[in-house]
A and B are shown apart, each in its own frame.
Chain A
Amino acid sequence: MCSCPHAACCARGLRTSDGDLLDTLDINVGLSDTYVVDSDVQIPGVIAPPAAASPLATVRLQLAQVAVRSEDQLMADLIGALRTAQPTRRLVDVAGDGSPRVPSLVAVWLISQVAAVVGRPRIVDVGKVHREDLRSVRGVARLLHAALHPAAGGAKAS
């Protein structure tokens, strides 16, 4: 039996007699987490491994430098982000511009991720872009590059 004053933990079966946590602990962790440090850590000094980054966090990391990327680099970043977020998506269909064809909602999702990274939620007005630009990764890169570098007078959306 553990030494914590909340006997309810034991009564509800959250702990076994030797103090191991049961699988149910995660949903009741608030009852007992205060007492983990003084009695339940068996090997002092062990550092828990870092939690695996979520796909979304990895995507944001992959897109962290979008503001300084060229259009080609941006396209590569977007493809990488898409592969992270949707590993089962096969980028085999090719659009007219030679880049992977994507459904328009996926194109909008890519834009939304860049929008989140640069802190401009409506970085592109998707109601005013050419439909074809939302059908390929190159089109998305072109839209984003134009939005990120408006004064450069660079590539315009097709």
Chain B
Amino acid sequence: MIAMTPVPTVSEAWLTSIEATAAAPGGRVVHLVTTVTAPGSEVPEVRDVVNGRLERAGMQSVDTVAETIFPSSLYPDPGIDWTAALDADGVAVLDGAAADLYTAYEDILPLLRTVHANRSGTYFSRMITWPGKEPGGTNQLQLRIDGLRAQQRAGRRRNNTLDIDLAADSLAGGRDWATDGLQVYAVGDRRPRGFPCLTHIDLTLHEGRLHCTAVYRHQYLVEKAYGNLMGLSALLQFLCQQTGHAVGELCVHATLADAELSEGAWVHELARDARDALTVAHKADAAAKTASVAAAR
């Protein structure tokens, strides 16, 4: 097991993960745990490096991968957060935006499922219309939103009574939906590789912040990991906007992390280029801060 030091940005989390994994024998490690303390924050220079390499390799961009987990481009962000004191109009705006997202995604689901890899559904379809093949299933996201709003109304700022969440039990009746996770793995999933690599998303409310843990049975660190971290960040931000909780940490537990060294030597180059980009960005930040302090004097 390797537990990486928590870092503020998705970029650093991805970079330290791929560096550690690429250095391991065979470019694979078990139980890699990565934590982002400010989900969604990035170092743009690192993303540019990743996107450039992905494009040259004919792989999906960071945004495309991120949208497999949370389709931000279909969400008409209303720009307001839910609070227990929000008036009916405000609640209607927020609820309408979420409903638009669900409807738009259900509209495209038949087309998405024409892609062979999506025949069993997609991550997001499993979240909003479980078991994910057709519209009209259980909307796990809305259930979590309803539950988390109830926590807010009741003034509860923590709930860690369901830290252990069994995926197959997640949709059982009579459970507290507020902090149950999101079921993305079905008992009928038989493929040893491929969808779904993400098997479970756990939500923990603690001290008024909503934290998220995602479990991957196989985390592809080159092709998917950066986009996965961005998509999970967007999902967490959506849940927090819709329920009024502050954004907490994002933790990813890859039961098998794969640096995809079989792709070629460019994987090591990717990590080096990203590290260089991060170093340059940090130096630029430091210089800007120094200049700002000097100007203030």
Residues of A within 8 A of B (CB): 56, 85-86, 88, 102-106, 108-109, 111-113, 115-116, 121-122, 124-128
**Contact (Cβ within 8 A) A108 B108:** yes
Given known A-B contacts A56-B103, A109-B74, A109-B104, A103 and B67 have beta carbons under 8 A apart: yes
**Contact (Cβ within 8 A) A106 B74:** yes
A85 and B108 CA atoms in complex are apart in Å by 14
Contacts A103-B67, A105-B74, A126-B111 supplied; 18 other A-B pairs, CB < 8 Å: A85-B104, A103-B63, A103-B64, A104-B64, A105-B73, A106-B74, A108-B108, A109-B104, A109-B107, A111-B108, A112-B107, A115-B110, A121-B110, A121-B111, A125-B114, A127-B115, A127-B117, A128-B114
A104 and B71 CA atoms in complex are apart in Å by 10
Instruction: Check B143 for interface membership: any CB of A closer than 8 A.
Output: no
**Contact (Cβ within 8 A) B76 A88:** yes
Question: Chain A residues near B77 (CB, 8 Å)?
Answer: 88
Choose among A56, A88, A105, A128 the residue that contacts B108 (Cβ–Cβ < 8 A): A105
Instruction: Check B116 for interface membership: any CB of A closer than 8 A.
Output: yes
Given known A-B contacts A103-B67, A104-B64, A126 and B112 have beta carbons under 8 A apart: yes
21 A-B pairs within 8 Å (CB atoms) are namely A85-B104, A88-B77, A103-B67, A105-B71, A106-B73, A108-B108, A108-B112, A109-B104, A109-B107, A109-B108, A112-B107, A112-B108, A112-B110, A115-B110, A116-B107, A121-B111, A122-B114, A126-B111, A127-B115, A127-B116, A127-B117
Q: Closest chain B residue to A87 by CB distance?
A: B76
Q: Closest chain A residue to B110 by CB distance?
A: A121
Closest CB of chain B to A143's CB: distance in Å? 11
Q: Closest chain B residue to A88 by CB distance?
A: B76
Choose among A86, A102, A124 the residue that contacts B111 (Cβ–Cβ < 8 A): A124
Closest CB of chain A to B23's CB: distance in Å? 32
Closest CB of chain B to A73's CB: distance in Å? 22
Closest CB of chain B to A145's CB: distance in Å? 17
Q: What is the interface residue range for chain B against chain A? A: 20 to 34
Closest CB of chain B to A75's CB: distance in Å? 19
Choose among B104, B107, B115 the residue that contacts A126 (Cβ–Cβ < 8 A): B115
Question: Chain A residues near B103 (CB, 8 Å)?
Answer: 56
Question: Chain A residues near B74 (CB, 8 Å)?
Answer: 105-106, 109
Closest CB of chain A to B153's CB: distance in Å? 18
Q: Closest chain A residue to B67 by CB distance?
A: A105
Given known A-B contacts A56-B103, A109-B104, A122 and B111 have beta carbons under 8 A apart: yes
Question: Chain A residues near B111 (CB, 8 Å)?
Answer: 108, 111-112, 115, 121-122, 124, 126
Question: Chain B residues near A104 (CB, 8 Å)?
Answer: 64, 67
Question: Chain A residues near B76 (CB, 8 Å)?
Answer: 86, 88
Question: Chain A residues near B64 (CB, 8 Å)?
Answer: 103-104
A111 and B77 CA atoms in complex are apart in Å by 22
Question: Chain A residues near B63 (CB, 8 Å)?
Answer: 103
A104 and B111 CA atoms in complex are apart in Å by 12
Question: Chain B residues near A112 (CB, 8 Å)?
Answer: 107-108, 110-111
A103 and B116 CA atoms in complex are apart in Å by 21
Closest CB of chain B to A84's CB: distance in Å? 12
Q: Closest chain B residue to A122 by CB distance?
A: B114
B91-130 contacts to A (CB < 8 Å): 103-104, 107-108, 110-112, 114-118
A109 and B105 CA atoms in complex are apart in Å by 8
Q: Closest chain B residue to A125 by CB distance?
A: B114
